């Protein structure tokens, strides 16, 4: 399929607010995840995390599988976690900030993010994709 016939872009671009500037960050999505929503993990807490995503279309589903993108090589493992969107708010015309809770404690993605956060002193963005999943039937 030629690039002009893609229904969704494979690369998403964000201007991430940091102190008094906006830093450019690109999210390159793997071939099989081109329809997933790209995002950037910008904050991690004990129970959840905040992810920047494109403002349009708005993230409206409650349940997602978050997969961390740790490199452009297709062979790099994709750490994942089931997350629940708790809130969303626009930061600008092109970016929204969303708060998520981890649905399962100690997932591969959560463990990786906790280890990364403990090791880094300079700002390093962790890119991800959000794959919408069906909510479990009650």
Q: Which run of H or E residues covers position 119?
A: helix 108-119
pLDDT in tens, 75-85: 566 789 999 99
Q: Which run of H or E residues covers position 97?
A: strand 95-102
pLDDT in tens, 19-30: 777 777 778 787
pTM assigned to the model: 0.79
Q: How many Cβ atoms are within 10 Å of 63's Cβ, its own excluded?
A: 16
Contact 70, 76 (CB under 8 A): yes
CATH topology of domain 3-132: Thrombin, subunit H (2.40.10)
pLDDT in tens, 102-124: 998 889 899 888 887 776 555 56
CA distance 132 to 137: 15
């Amino acid at each position: 399929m030629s690039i002009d016939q893609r229904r969704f872009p494979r690369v998403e671009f964000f201007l991430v607010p940091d102190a008094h500037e906006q830093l450019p960050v690109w999210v390159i999505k793997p071939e099989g995840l081109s329809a997933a929503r790209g995002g950037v993990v910008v904050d991690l807490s004990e129970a959840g995390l905040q992810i920047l995503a494109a403002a349009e279309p708005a993230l409206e589903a409650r349940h997602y599988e978050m997969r961390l993108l740790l490199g452009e090589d297709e062979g790099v493992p994709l750490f994942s976690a089931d997350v629940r969107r708790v809130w969303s708010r626009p930061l600008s015309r092109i970016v929204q900030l969303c708060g998520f809770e981890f649905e399962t404690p100690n997932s591969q993605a959560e463990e990786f993010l906790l280890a990364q956060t403990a090791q880094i002193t300079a700002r390093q963005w962790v890119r991800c994709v959000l794959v919408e999943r069906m909510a479990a039937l009650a």
